[in-house]
Amino acid sequence: MGGGPAKERMLITLPMKEPTELVERLRSKFPHIDITFKNVSYTKDKAQHESEIPSDIWHDITLLFTLSALPPSPASCPHLSLISLYSAGSNHISSHPLYTSTSIPITTSSGIHGPQIAEWVIMTSLIHSHKYKTLYELQKSHRWGKKDTSSDYHSVRDMVGLRLGVLGYGSIGRQVARVGQAMGMDVLAYTASPKPTPEKKKDLGFIVPGTGDPDGSIPSAWYSGLDKASLHDFLKRDIDVLLISVPLTEQTKHFLSTEEFKILSQDGKRPAFVSNIARGQIVDQAALIAALKDGTLSGAALDVTDPEPLPEDSELWDLENVIVTPHISGVGQAYTDRAFQVVETNLERRERGEGLINVVRRERGY
């Protein structure tokens, strides 16, 4: 009797060939869950996803693990009780009725990207500070270079004693802070809400073992707020490298523009380096280009732009003090395995009646 499915049913919809070992690991650990894997298109076209997944599958599932393929409406998945996202963010589904009109828990894969993104941040920062673009051009032209201090690659400033400002102290920011501190940098943290106690400073999400800042002990100071006055107070703190790692929300769209770049770099007297691995729209891109061209900023490393892909005629491509990569800082061979680890952790916690990790708080947008 009753209207629900006889057992738990999980649907995994990802744009890849089935990772058999990982799926079998879940089946072995949770034999009471009937798991189906569907290789779907890597697309934002909802109609395409709907054509790839029959309506009867949506109707019976209780658990969904996906990147962006969602049931067309809440009515099409009446038994769905948990949505696990393959991505670190949820902004790409924030207009879907399952997000806006239900209270079904949504979790993300936040926490799995810290190691590879931190390496990208440090790599691009060193490319800038060690003048590697110039050195690479010398190598391509088979030239040894000049043995005099007038060459720009003789004016290297190491990271020791520099100040790293982490705008968004989540899992990614914490791992960048860990590596930055190991290189001798002082770290300042910025979060949306205050973290006045040791308990509030803890990272309660998924943590790759041996990484990050689990107890929040690395920053020498914490700042917080979503208002401009609080942001400006943070940017005034003699920051040499600013990492942008906040989620994109209505409050953070164009969070950084002309005024913020001037405050950060003291009107160009102390040009800072900006690294953006979050979302392109957090930065006013026209203002960023102007600041990079007039010396307000010393340079930028951009894994995200506005729009994406970056148009061929964008000035950013040809600015000598800019490094552009095609939104790849988070990719890595361990990505899928770690994303499955997050799902596995939450299924375990769910069975024990414990709270889930990486739960999206819809009221704040992430």
What is residue 26's predicted lDDT score, i.e. its pLDDT?
A: 98
- Residue position matching structure tokens 């395409």: 48
pLDDT in the model for residue 148: 67
* Domain 8-111+334-351: CATH architecture, name and number where available: 3-Layer(aba) Sandwich (3.40)
Helix axes 132-140, 114-129, angle to 10 degrees: 70
Give pLDDT, residue 150: 61
Calpha distance 324→38 (Å, rounded): 34
Decide if 8-111+334-351 and 114-324 have a common fold. Answer: yes
347 alpha-carbon distance from chain centroid = 23
Q: pLDDT tens digits for 270-328?
A: 999 999 999 999 999 999 999 999 999 999 999 999 999 999 999 999 999 999 999 99
The tokens of 225 are what? 């707020």
Q: Bridge partners of 359? A: 107
Exactly one of 92, 163, 327, 350 is catalytic; name it.
Answer: 327
Mark whether 119 is an active-site residue: no
Residues of the chain with pLDDT under 70: 1-6, 148-150
Could you confirm whether 25 is annotated as catalytic?
A: no
Domain covering 114-324, topology: Rossmann fold (3.40.50)
Confirm whether 254 is a catalytic residue.
Answer: no
Q: Under a CB-based contact definition with an 8 Å cutoff, are residues 139 and 123 in contact?
A: no
Question: CA 286, CA 289: separation in Å to the nearest integer?
Answer: 5
What is the model's pTM?
0.91
Task: Specify the pLDDT at position 258.
Answer: 98
For the chain, give every domain's residue range.
8-111+334-351, 114-324
Cβ burial, residue 94 (10 Å; 0-12/13-18/19+): middle
Instruction: Tell me which residue has tokens 């409050």.
Output: 251
List 96, 113, 279, 338, catalytic entry: 279
Is residue 189 a contact partner of residue 169, using CB atoms and an 8 Å limit?
Answer: yes
Give dist(CA 126, CA 354) in Å, integer.
Answer: 43
Instruction: Pick the catalytic residue from 18, 24, 199, 308.
Output: 308
Q: Give the whole-angstrom CA distance, residue 240 versus residue 254.
A: 21
Integer-rounded Cα Rg, in Å, for the chain is 23
